[in-house]
Chains A and B, each alone.
Chain A
C-alpha cells in the first residue's frame, strides 16, 4: 500500500530565506510523486511532478524537489521565500499505470514573515 508522511504540519520562514518542506513516501511499486499547493479559498494547483524521469524536478514559482529512492523522500525546496508562497502544501503519491487515485499527505502550512 502507498502512503505519504509530511513531517511538519507547520513551517515558518522569513521572506528571502530558504524553504524546506519534508515528505516521505511508502510505495511497493514505482511511484509517481507530486507537490500541490492550496491557497486560501482556492483549489489545488500542481507545483511539480516526478514520474521516473530526472530525479531533480523543477516546478513553478522557483520550487524544486528531489526524488531519493534510498531515503524514500521527496522534499520540496525553494531558495528564497516570497510572501505569496504562504499556503498549504500537499505531497501526493500515486501508482504508475492506469489507476489515478491520488494519496495525499496531511499537508504542511507554510507561513512567510516579512
Chain B
C-alpha cells in the first residue's frame, strides 16, 4: 500500500468527450506528478504540481491539464479525447525533492472509443 488512491479504476469515454481523473496523495506530500502509460510501454511524464502550481510539463498538448488542491488531492483533465489517449494514467505522490522517491497509485485505465 502506497497511500495513494486514484479514481475511477476504469473508465470508457467517447472520442471528443472530456474526462477528469482524480488522485488522493499522502498527507504532507506537496508534489504530485501524472504519467500516461500506453499499452506495452513505460510511463510517460505528463506534468507535475508543487503546492498547487504546475512546475514541470512533459511533451503533452494543452488539452491535458491539471489541478492540485490544498487537501493533497489532484485532478487530471483531458479535453477533446482522442483514441490514442487510451492508456493507464498514474498519479505519483512525492514527499520532497531530496528523496526523489515517488509513491504511485494503482492507476486509472481509460479507454476511448
Contact = CB atoms under 8 A, between A and B. Distances in A.
Interface in B14-42: 31, 33, 35, 40-42
B88 to A, nearest CB: 9
Given A44-B43, A103-B45, A105-B42, A94 B90 contact: no
Given A43-B104, A43-B105, A44-B104, A98 B45 contact: no
A49 B103 CA distance: 13
Interface of B: 2, 4, 31, 33, 35, 40-45, 48, 55-56, 58, 90, 92, 94, 97, 99-107
A51 B100 contact: yes
A51 B35 CA distance: 22
A104 interface: yes
A100 interface: yes
Interface in A43-98: 43-46, 49, 51, 90, 94, 96-98
A106 interface: yes
B106 A49 contact: no
Interface class of chain A by DSSP? loop
Contact of B45 (A41, A46, A102): A102
A85 B61 CA distance: 37
Listed residue (A101, A102, A105) with the most chain B CB atoms within 10 angstroms of its CB = A102
Contacts of A46: 101-103
Contact of B41 (A32, A34, A99, A107): A107
**What bracket does the count of chain A residues touching chain B fall in?**
20 to 34
Given A43-B105, A101-B33, A32 B100 contact: yes
B55 to A, nearest CB: 8
B89 to A, nearest CB: 11
Nearest to B100: A32
Nearest to A96: B100
B41 A106 contact: yes
B33 A102 contact: yes
Given A90-B43, A102-B33, 18 more contacts: A43-B105, A44-B92, A46-B103, A90-B42, A94-B100, A97-B97, A99-B48, A99-B55, A100-B31, A100-B56, A101-B45, A101-B48, A102-B45, A104-B44, A105-B42, A106-B41, A106-B42, A107-B41
